[in-house]
Amino acid sequence: MQRTTVVGVADYAYTSDSVTLDCCIDDEFTATDWKYRENANEGAGGRTVPVTLEFYNPSTFRFEFRANPEVGATETLNDLNEAAIRDDIELDVTETNGELRVETSALRVVIGLEEWSFAVTEPDGTILFEEQREDIDVHGDLRVEPLGFSEVVDDAGPDKVATTGTALDLAPDEGVYGLGEKFVEFNKRGREITSWTVEPYGTETENSYKNVPFHLSTRGYGLLVDTTNKVEYDLGKTTTASATINVHDDTFAFVFFCDPSFKEILQEYTVMSGRVDMPPKWSFGVWMSRLGYESREHLEEITAELRDREIPCDVVHLDPFWMRDFRSCDLEWDTNQFPDPEGMIEKLREEGFHLSLWEHPYVPVGSTAFEEGREGGYFVTDGTGSPYVMDNLCQGDYRGAIVDFTHPDAVEWWKDKHRRLVEMGVDVFKTDYGEGIPADAAFANGLTGKPMHNFYPFLYNEAVYEAIADVNGRDEALVWGRSAWIGNQRFPMYWGGDAQTSFSGMASALRGGLSLSLSGFPFWSHDIGGFRGTPSEEVYVRWSQFGLLSSHARCHGTTPREPWAFGEEAVRIFKKFARLRYRLLSYLYSYAAAARETGLPVVRPLVLEYQNDPSVSDVDLQYLLGEELLVAPVFDESGRVDIYLPDGDDWADYWTGERYDGGQTLRREVPLDQMPLFVRAESVLPLHESSQTVEEGTPDEVTLRVTPAARGDTQTSFDFYDEDCDEFVDVGCSILEGEIDISIDSGERTQIFQVKIVDVERVPDAVRTNGANCEHVDGAPGEGKWSYDAEAETVHVNPR
């Protein structure tokens, strides 16, 4: 492949919010002859190529380089809302000593004119982002390829652009995070990563179902590569001094977000790419599934057992067997195996269960649905106008065609099939697959599978999500998707695919999820126990503990995943953690409501909350559930686990109350029925009674568990989501010089709360609620009263 590189700038122009550069190129560029020439284009036919910078606000801009400018600007398929992040801006553009400086109040872009260079700095000159042109070997040759394009020759014919891209300088201590659901190390530095959606047949490689070409750097920026084509990253693997990004397209574009805080970047990125809708509350309950329940009788045996054993559960799922043999996916019931589906669904509802159905976007040859789709032109074609029929496409390894979601009539046809099922009472669809789009396929919008391959999961999940919303409303809409791309977070939610039934599979599920959390997805789940085969009792139990403290919780696999399949001890432990999950539902739901407004994830890697603690940069086997709870799953049959408690906060063991300083590693050997769980000191944790199913509405009684600071005064609060009022209630606690002040900014809603303050070493001098003194009593406090348990060192307050 031949590489052509930008070497200088022939001319430029600018407006109040953009800069256009007319760039010189040289197809014989090397480090040893890197110098500006008056006519740098002699070897490239004298042509120039454009680079544009468009600023959306003082800290965010879009960079675009076009190798074939004659064809016009490339229209991105990504549905990005630039208007949502635009703000007034006036660029300060100056030229000095062969450099162009483009400055805002938040950053400075420095561009070499005579000798091309590109850097983004803070206003004081501290480098945030810099193109790499100094990573050379002993011969003076560049190890990486800076801004430019590569061409290939087809059949000894003319050259054509194959890729565009650039190289970036990597700081010695720079960490790189995100890039979608990647099952490898959480910190991607040192890895090669490809953003190309595939069926990875496991979760042990960097191949994944959910690719998002967006990453965060510890240098203080986020970068979204704005394309739907394949993106290839080398993040310090070939050379530790450099990273490269190459796009399989003739346009290389990215959006640059500048901020030292990962949280701030994620919030702006999700404003642009789309904020999540609030999932229905019942979705936060336990889901029970396997591949699969093959009949109505089988399903009802499972639901009866769940209720008999008092195992909390809200959703049951049917995999492909709900449809007839060789008819996956025509979305028609097999009424022999599932007679009277309407009656079955009604019975499930009466027992407190919601129903999920499996699907994929492929329609089997020989079905009535295939004939309808062929006649209507609803399928992706092979370029001749015929449906692109493939072997082993559909579940069951038979032939099928692919629904074309760029064809408006095809979308409506597919939605109609779903709307009928939703009207029957189906609540959610497991939108499986979506990764198998051939690069040479032809779509109704005139594009091939090359740019559509990665984008297809967005259109697929959008169609199904909207079909549910059409019937049930957006508040009740939900998919359980496997494949995803930029913006798919708008249609919650997604699970991690086919993990191995092993501790390695469990670890990869967590790594993939944490990576997705830093890619704009607030909710994710995984198959408790792993997918293929039968996990050991230890793997199942440990995975249950982790899974039941994820944003969403589903048991699933090719063999039974109901806890009684693993013995009575497994049932006992499963119930213990399921009940804990249901006690925490108001906590989880508060963070879900916050995600709707902030885009921040419910399950958080430690680096998101403790970015200034260098010890958390590579921690990917523990996580934060919200901000208040630290979870450390056990990944070893022996029960051994190392737990790092982040610096900057103190921590209390959730189970025992024992206190620990932050910034240390604990080494534990944990019995099978336990999992390390810690509460951040100086925090408020809302809890309520467990139940067999998720109860709609704000609970009648919520206990606010306050963990004071280990030393000194306490000032803490929590934004509690009051579902009935659809608003946040600021609940706070101040402990100052032996006096406790509780604030509950909820007007007449104060009566739903009780307060439990732990680790209070002596009787308080006074307790007040919203400024009013509470009366001290012995025993259980009545309304407006408080008591002190000296043995437990706990204050109980009834602020009603």
When the pLDDT of each residue in the chain is averaged and rounded to a whole number, the result is 95
What percent of the chain is predicted at pLDDT more than 70? 97
Residue type, 300: E
Residue type, 50: P
pLDDT range class, residue 29, cuts 50, 70, 90: very low
The kind and range of the H/E element at 673 are: none
Model pLDDT, residue 398: 87
CATH number at residue 190: 2.60.40.1760
Q: Are residues 398 and 465 in the same domain?
A: yes
Instruction: Please give the full DSSP string across 609-647, using - where no structure is assigned.
Output: H-TT-GGGTT--S-EEETTTEEE----STT-EEEEEE-T
Q: Encoding tokens for residue 403?
A: 């629904």
Q: Encoding tokens for residue 301?
A: 């045996």
pLDDT (tens digit per residue) in 590-619 = 999 999 999 999 999 999 999 999 999 999
Q: Are residues 232 and 351 in the same domain?
A: no
In a domain, 501, yes or no: no
Model pLDDT, residue 153: 74
Per the structure, how many domains does the chain have? Answer: 3
Residues of the chain by 3-state class (helix, strand, coil), percent to 5: 20, 35, 45
Model pLDDT, residue 30: 40
Model pLDDT, residue 284: 98
Cα 564 to Cα 575: distance, rounded to the nearest angstrom: 11
Q: Are 465 and 477 in contact (CB under 8 A)?
A: yes
pLDDT (tens digit per residue) in 196-241 = 999 999 898 899 999 999 999 999 999 999 999 999 999 999 999 9
Model pLDDT, residue 275: 97
Model pLDDT, residue 2: 86
Q: Encoding tokens for residue 378?
A: 């609803």
Model pLDDT, residue 35: 40
Query: Does residue 755 have a pLDDT over 70?
Result: yes
- Give the SS3 label for residue 682: coil
Which of 494, 510, 536 represents a domain boundary (last residue)?
494
Active site residue 277: no
Nearest alpha-carbon partner for 756 in 788, 796, 793, 783: 796
Q: Are 261 and 527 in contact (CB under 8 A)?
A: no
Cα 55 to Cα 15: distance, rounded to the nearest angstrom: 10
Which of 464, 494, 524 represents a domain boundary (last residue)?
494
Nearest alpha-carbon partner for 681 in 711, 644, 718, 643: 711
Query: Does residue 747 have a pLDDT over 70?
Result: no
For 751, residues 6+ apart whose C-beta sits below 8 A from its C-beta are: 800
Q: Encoding tokens for residue 760?
A: 């209070």
Q: Which residues pair with 25 in a beta bridge?
A: 6
Residue 305's alpha-carbon distances to 283, 312, 548, in angstroms, are 20, 11, 19
Model pLDDT, residue 711: 85
Cα 31 to Cα 430: distance, rounded to the nearest angstrom: 53
Cα 420 to Cα 467: distance, rounded to the nearest angstrom: 9
Q: Are residues 313 and 172 in the same domain?
A: no
Mean local confidence (pLDDT), 262-280 = 97
Cα 691 to Cα 311: distance, rounded to the nearest angstrom: 9
Q: Are residues 170 and 94 in the same domain?
A: yes
Active site residue 432: yes
Q: Are residues 380 and 427 in the same domain?
A: yes
Active site residue 435: yes
Q: How far is CA 638 from the centre of its chain?
A: 31
Cα 580 to Cα 587: distance, rounded to the nearest angstrom: 11
* Catalytic, out of 435, 476, 609, 695: 435
Q: Are residues 458 and 386 in the same domain?
A: yes
pLDDT (tens digit per residue) in 378-387 = 999 999 999 9
Q: Encoding tokens for residue 208?
A: 């994944």
In a domain, 611, yes or no: no
697 — alpha (psi -120 to 50), left (phi > 0) or beta?
left
Cα 492 to Cα 277: distance, rounded to the nearest angstrom: 7
* Catalytic, out of 64, 334, 498, 562: 498
Q: Which domain holds residue 187?
A: 2-273
Model pLDDT, residue 457: 98
In a domain, 616, yes or no: no
pLDDT range class, residue 748, cuts 50, 70, 90: low
Q: Are residues 196 and 314 in the same domain?
A: no
Mean local confidence (pLDDT), 259-286 = 97
Q: What is the pTM of this model?
A: 0.96
pLDDT range class, residue 745, cuts 50, 70, 90: confident
- What number of CA atoms fall less than 13 Å from residue 224's CA on the CB side? 28
Helix 537-547 with 568-583: angle, nearest 10 deg: 10
Q: Are 299 and 567 in contact (CB under 8 A)?
A: no
For 418, residues 6+ apart whose C-beta sits below 8 A from its C-beta are: 331, 429, 464, 467, 468
- Give the SS3 label for residue 308: helix
The kind and range of the H/E element at 470 are: helix 456-472
Query: Does residue 366 have a pLDDT over 70?
Result: yes
In a domain, 447, yes or no: yes
Q: Encoding tokens for residue 787?
A: 């008591």
In a domain, 571, yes or no: no
pLDDT range class, residue 33, cuts 50, 70, 90: very low
Q: Are residues 267 and 286 in the same domain?
A: no
CB atoms within 10 A of CB 397: 8
The kind and range of the H/E element at 657 are: none
110 — alpha (psi -120 to 50), left (phi > 0) or beta?
beta
Model pLDDT, residue 42: 46
Compute the CA torsion angle 189, 190, 195, 200 (nearest 10 deg).
-120
Q: Are residues 6 and 152 in the same domain?
A: yes
In a domain, 739, yes or no: yes
Give every strand in the sheet of 651-653, ordered side by side: 603-604, 623-625, 629-631, 677-680, 651-653, 659-660
For 408, residues 6+ apart whose C-beta sits below 8 A from its C-beta are: none
pLDDT (tens digit per residue) in 655-706 = 999 999 999 999 999 999 999 999 999 999 999 999 999 999 999 999 999 9
Q: Encoding tokens for residue 639?
A: 């029960």
Mean local confidence (pLDDT), 758-780 = 94
Q: Are residues 242 and 308 in the same domain?
A: no
Model pLDDT, residue 28: 45
* Catalytic, out of 334, 432, 613, 620: 432
Q: Are residues 263 and 291 in the same domain?
A: no
Cα 574 to Cα 313: distance, rounded to the nearest angstrom: 11
Residue type, 365: V
Which of 273, 303, 323 represents a domain boundary (last residue)?
273
CATH number at residue 350: 3.20.20.80
152 versus 110: the higher-pLDDT residue is 110
Residue 449's alpha-carbon distances to 79, 315, 456, 607, in angstroms, are 18, 35, 9, 37
In a domain, 690, yes or no: no
Q: Encoding tokens for residue 108?
A: 């400075």
- Name the burial class of residue 504, with classes exposed (0-12), middle (13-18) and buried (19+) by CB atoms within 10 angstroms of its CB: middle
Instruction: Please give the full DSSP string across 150-183, using - where no structure is assigned.
Output: EEEESTT--EEEEEEEEEEE--TT--EEEEES--
Q: Are residues 139 and 163 in the same domain?
A: yes
Nearest alpha-carbon partner for 503 in 495, 511, 513: 511
Gyration radius from the chain CA atoms: 28
pLDDT (tens digit per residue) in 622-643 = 999 999 999 999 999 999 999 9
Query: Does residue 34 have a pLDDT over 50?
Result: no
Cα 6 to Cα 365: distance, rounded to the nearest angstrom: 50
In a domain, 623, yes or no: no
Mean local confidence (pLDDT), 750-764 = 93
What percent of the chain is predicted at pLDDT more than 90? 91
